[in-house]
Structure 1
């Protein structure tokens, strides 16, 4: 048994990519049908922002990865809604959000959109939970709106030393040619088994690609293939290092931070968690997740919920 196989055997007890397909109500798990039914749109100057929310109380904002959308956090919305008003918006250019014509899709613009989004929902303060490109946006939000952030739970994603990661450069190049959505995403949407293969969305980013459901593939890729100009634009907007020169300012931020990192992720550097831990003065350290891939937060909602409750000081 190799090291990754051993690590995965330990994670098997936590794996929950195939979340229970119960109908969405005030408490149960959100399947694809329930998530669609729960989706709302908030009109803003940036466009109509798609989001799903669960729970009441202080707000927690969940920032998804690329090419996913807020559906990535359905397991956390179920588990953490007793303690927070859990908000899972779709970034501009991804998912079901409808950005206005000509709207910038760059990470800094996404951070500004989130501030306006929170204003529209009457929320001043927020706990941030982020993955992938959302991790970069979370850092930018902290820089631009530090008085609005209570805490940050950061998982595999952009850091100043890895933004964009080398693995993303072919995606950006295809985006510039207007071909990323057509050449990568459309074939995966048309062939779910291909999407779960070693060269597909599942094999490249999920710990257990065989558990990536047809419904999840459709939820993620359907709107991106239908709106290819926006999808390609999102990719191109990631070309510049949005975090360049931010280290000094981030070192001054005293909010509690917890880093949880999947250590089998081929996209982001394994130096990322150590960098973030050293960067933030009030870091609570790193929890390494051996064998876990980029989008492990979706697969292990209990793990993320456990870490979030500790960070938030919730006794449950």
Structure 2
């Protein structure tokens, strides 16, 4: 399917969505059978999959074809709570915590490099009896998503990328001070620890809020607790978080361009143009590099972690992309 066909299909999706009626629109707002996912509900829903990489924490909602949500740094699957609420009527939504992040229990001696994250995800999908997924990704999760799509194309149906690493911007210069602090074993205590203790600071221009969110009320107190609490809870978890950060120093996407051009996974790019972490040129480059790009949508003013603030946009773009992917003989239009 070329870009013109994708746009026509997307228009058809929009029309059919208008005709679906009030009940369908209401279903898209909250997952069936429950209220929106707050932190307490998210914690209750958390499960663990035993793998050789460790016990992988994940939250899963609904059934049917699976969608995999890959979070940013230093967040975890809670980043996608709004998207899970809106998209679980249409997919079996799975939001794992990466090795070194969130509530995943990393096996002793296990690497946290992006390539290991890819293999961990494959093990998780196997443990959950999932053969292929629609992937939605943000930030460093986007780098892992690109590796997954390029090297394991049979496991990825579609790819929705938001602000993230590219071959030309990995790691972005803004991340280098974080990496250096992580090498010294100081990042978690000096940054995350201070933000965890002082929520106003976390939401200020000097905190993660001002750096990565457009809304000055973000991240919420419960998000701060859910993101930073586990990384501060034990020395092992702190060490794993530092290992995750240090692993971002090497460009895991170096040389991936030809693989992306050969990749037939339908890929959509949605980019917050208020982002001060990644290059403003990145969405154009991703659009050029992916052989089956479905184009770019630019969000004025939105910053790196906009998917948490604007889950309606994620839901809209994901459903259009998923509906434009037409199965043929059990496989996609690749």
Measure the CA separation in 2 of the matches of 1:228 and 1:266.
26
Measure the CA separation in 1 of the matches of 2:113 and 2:161.
19
Deviation at 1:143, TM superposition (A): 2.0
Measure the CA separation in 2 of the matches of 1:209 and 1:162.
27
1:36-185 correspondence runs (5 A)? 36-185=43-192
Deviation at 1:187, TM superposition (A): 0.5
Deviation at 1:55, TM superposition (A): 1.3
Task: Kindly indicate whether residue 280 of structure 2 is the aligned counterpart of residue 270 of structure 1.
Answer: yes
Residue 201 of structure 2: aligned partner: 194
Task: Kindly indicate whether residue 246 of structure 2 is the aligned counterpart of residue 236 of structure 1.
Answer: yes
Q: Unaligned 5+ residue runs, structure 1?
A: 1-22
The farther-off stretch of 257-266 and 138-147 is 138-147
CA contact (8 A) 2:58 2:97 kept: yes
Question: Residues 282 and 25 (structure 1 numbering): CA distance in 2 closer, same or farther, change over 3 Å?
Answer: closer
Q: Unaligned 5+ residue runs, structure 2?
A: 1-29, 326-334
- Stretches of 4+ aligned residues off by more than 6 angstroms: none
TM-score (normalised: structure 2): 0.86
CA contact (8 A) 1:69 1:90 kept: yes
Task: Kindly indicate whether residue 306 of structure 2 is the aligned counterpart of residue 299 of structure 1.
Answer: no
Residue 213 of structure 1: aligned partner: 220
Q: Please give the root-mean-square deviation of Cα atoms over the aligned residues, in Å.
A: 1.4
Task: Kindly indicate whether residue 292 of structure 2 is the aligned counterpart of residue 282 of structure 1.
Answer: yes
Instruction: Report the secondary structure of 1:51's partner residue.
Output: strand
Measure the CA separation in 2 of the matches of 1:302 and 1:31.
16
From 238, 255, 265, the counterpart of 1:255: 265
Measure the CA separation in 1 of the matches of 2:257 and 2:97.
27
CA contact (8 A) 1:24 1:34 kept: no
Measure the CA separation in 2 of the matches of 1:28 and 1:169.
40
Measure the CA separation in 2 of the matches of 1:31 and 1:160.
35
Instruction: Report the secondary structure of 1:210's partner residue.
Output: coil
Deviation at 1:24, TM superposition (A): 9.0
CA contact (8 A) 1:70 1:90 kept: yes
Instruction: Report the secondary structure of 1:122's partner residue.
Output: coil
Measure the CA separation in 2 of the matches of 1:24 and 1:139.
28
Instruction: Report the secondary structure of 1:286's partner residue.
Output: strand
